[in-house]
Structure 1
Amino acid sequence: MPAPEIEHPTLPLADRLCQHIAEFGTCMVAFSGGVDSAVVAAAAYRALGRRAIAVTAVSPSVSESQLAAARDVARQIGIEHREVATDEIENADYVRNDSQRCFHCKQTLYRRLTKLANQHAIDVIASGTNADDTHDYRPGIAAGQQASVRAPLADLGIDKSAVREIARRWNLSVWDAPASPCLSSRLAYGVTVTTERLKMVEEAEAFLSGKGFSPLRVRLHEGDLARIEVPRRDLVRMLAEPLWTQTVTALRTAGFRFVTVDLEGFRSGNLNTLVSIASPASSPAAETITETNMTTSPATHPQDSAE
């Protein structure tokens, strides 16, 4: 006699998620196309069908690759997908880029979604905030709470690993995709957000992604200094010729003055370590980057900067 199939612990969670969202009546999902919002959107579509829609923000902080991925995942789910322009780049509080930048960005987004939801008589706006997010520095969560945005994953205590397992079991293509937050998250706190700087980051990351690096980040620090993060296993390949020279050339062409590699490797969200440090505007040494943490292009050593 074959052994009975053991129910995976995420299956009841997936069912509870659908049941929870079914109680919303109608639902608009703030949809980035990442695994968290994809699972919420898929659950909403399973629970509510045509009474659920996914809405993606379009702005300079959203890369073309992110937007394309969101469209693909929405088609895969089958949910109605809309795109709305947001104007956070015109908000001085957002542009200032202090530790509350994400709050001002999400506040702008949720105001836009609330207006759209009211126009279409949609009862609930839902985000992809998961249980793990509530333990990290995420000022955008406060913006969602102020706007009465629901977080069904966090409500049910569903963490990132469970989200990925649900996505895998629902055959969502992004189940194992690396996190890809907005481009403005690459700018160190205190460095003014501009369309030009966001484009610099987008072009730099597109180049490195095309070379097969994943996950990756290109952080932008004061003085238009690029700090590249790739997994440590990829550092040797990153620094080998001719790729290193090609990388320096590509990033300088994108607009960076200095090109560095972080020897600690890729660490998602590590700019949050700067939250308690004064911004460059108030303390020129606040974001000094030491040689012990990174290597640089020989011709563009940070200490040679005119800062």
Structure 2
Amino acid sequence: MANADHLNKISAGVVKVMLSPLLQEKLDNLLKKIEEMEGVLIAFSGGVDSTLLLKAATMTSTRVMAVTASSPTYPEAEIAAAVQLARDLGVQHQIIKTNEMEDPNFTANPTERCYHCKRELFATLRRLASEHALKTIVDGANADDEDDFRPGRRAAREFGVRSPLQEVGLTKDEIRQLARYLHLPNWDKPSMACLSSRIPYGQAITPEKLRQIAAAEDFLCRLGLKEVRVRHHDTIARIEVNPAAFALLIDAAIRVKIVKYFQDLGFTYIVLDLEGFRSGSMNAVLKQEDLHR
């Protein structure tokens, strides 16, 4: 059964944020599902979704292991943050190297790019789960993901990967509420997709492009921006930030710094997307039938 003492301590008022009856029910259902799995290997990115899932697993008596994939498609800072979070939660954690950049099915950047990446990841996780006698592989997909274009979900189905957050109907907003309730330090962390998602479909994914994107986004974050995407259109860098941050970017002194830094990275033109930040904007070119795969 779930760790009753832990739950009672929370309910006794250690955390000031209160849960609605519906959200409390979803949390209880989440803990019950994980408990019934009798050993889980969690695909742990360090984002708020997988962190909540990992935290929930520690609140049960089930065995748990977190695994984080490392590759050029993810910034090193994200890997380091995942390592620290796993350490803080006191769970067994392993970093694995993935080789999607060696797969031409991935680097050609088709619309099914994520399927090829996730297929390799889940195959590796299956081997690890078997080695450690863990019955179930789980990931941090949530209820909102069902309405998005997620070809990686097909790979999850093929490998029997379960998504407990999705199964109990937790949305992104509810996950943030629970993460805050449980004092998780990244409860308000912006969503982070792999760097390859910044490159238009059909344009090759290369290590150089990924380095340019990572450096450009890191530079903007160091200016104080939280939600940032730098879309790579060959010689053009298209910057997406929340409209509230437009004033900062077009400040004369800041604008000059951004232009110089981006040009030093190899971009010729640096543009600000007037629609602002939006996750998955590269999917705007897809046909309607693609979005429902």
TM > 0.5 fold call: yes
Amino acid at match of 1:230: V
Question: SS where residue 108 of structure 1 aligns?
Answer: helix
- CA apart distance, 1:257: 2.7
Q: Which residue of 1 aligns with 2:53?
A: 40
Question: In the alignment, residue 154 of structure 1 is paired with which amino acid?
Answer: Q
Partner residue of 2:280? 269
Partner of 1:195: 207
Partner of 2:230: 218
Q: Does 1:88 align with 2:100?
A: yes
Distance in 1 (CA, whole Å) between partners of 2:100 and 2:275 is: 32
Q: CA deviation at 1:274?
A: 1.7
Q: 2:181 aligns with which of 150, 161, 169?
A: 169
Contact 2:57 2:64 in 1 (8 A): yes
Shift of 1:264: 1.2
Higher helix share: 2
- What does residue 270 of structure 2 align with? 259
Computed over aligned residues only, the root mean square deviation of the Cα atoms, in angstroms, reads 1.6
The question of whether the paired residues in 1 share the 8 Å contact of 2:18 and 2:181 is answered with no
For 2:46, give the aligned amino acid.
G
What is the match of residue 156 of structure 1? 168
Whole-angstrom distance in 2 between the partners of 1:6 and 1:181: 30
**Partner residue in 2 for 1:280:** none
Match of 2:291 in 1: none
Which runs of 5 or more residues in structure 1 are unaligned? Answer: 278-307
Which of the residues 12, 16, 26 maps onto 2:25?
12
Could you tell which deviates more after superposition, 21-30 or 257-266?
257-266
Q: Is residue 141 of structure 2 the alignment partner of residue 129 of structure 1?
A: yes
Identical-pair percentage? 39
The separation in 2 between residues aligned to 1:275 and 1:256, in whole angstroms, is 26
Secondary structure at the residue paired with 2:252?
coil
Please name the residue that 2:131 is paired with.
Answer: 119
Q: CA, structure 1 residues 169+242, in 2 after alignment: closer, same or farther (shift >3 Å)?
A: same
* Residue of structure 1 equivalent to 2:252: 241
C-alpha separation in 1, matches of 2:79 and 2:149: 25
Picking from 80, 88, 95, the partner of 1:68 is 80
Distance 1:79 1:6, change over 3 A: closer
8 Å contact 1:129–1:151 — kept in the other structure?
A: yes
Letter of the structure 1 residue corresponding to residue 39 of structure 2: T
Q: Deviations over 1:108-128 (max 9, x none)?
A: 111111111112221110000
Determine if contact 1:189/1:275 at 8 Å carries over to the other structure. Answer: no
- 1:248-288 CA-to-partner distances (Å, cap 9, x unmatched) read 111122222321110111111111112239xxxxxxxxxxx
1:227 has 2:238 as partner: yes
The whole-number CA distance in structure 2 between the counterparts of 1:116 and 1:151 is: 18
Maintained 8 Å contact 2:231/2:237: yes
Deviates more, 1:157-166 or 1:22-31: 157-166
Equivalent residue number for residue 39 of structure 2: 26
Q: Is the 8 A contact 1:76 1:172 kept in 2?
A: no
Task: Give the direction of change, closer, same or farther, for the CA distance of 1:6–1:112 in structure 2 (3 Å limit).
Answer: closer
Q: CA–CA distance in 2 between the matches of 1:224 and 1:119?
A: 46
CA distance in 2, matches of 1:224, 1:63: 21
In structure 2, the CA distance between the partners of 1:112 and 1:6, relative to structure 1 (3 Å rule), is: closer
**Contact 2:26/2:169 (8 A) holds in 1:** no
Quote the residue 1:110 is aligned against.
122
The Cα of 1:75 is off from its aligned counterpart by 2.1
Instruction: For CA contacts below 8 A with separation 6 or more, give which structure has more relative contact order.
Output: 2
Which structure 2 residue ranges, 5 or more long, are not aligned? 1-16, 289-293
Give the Å deviation of 1:48. 3.4
With over 3 angstroms needed to count, the CA separation of the structure-2 counterparts of 1:27 and 1:239, relative to structure 1, is: same
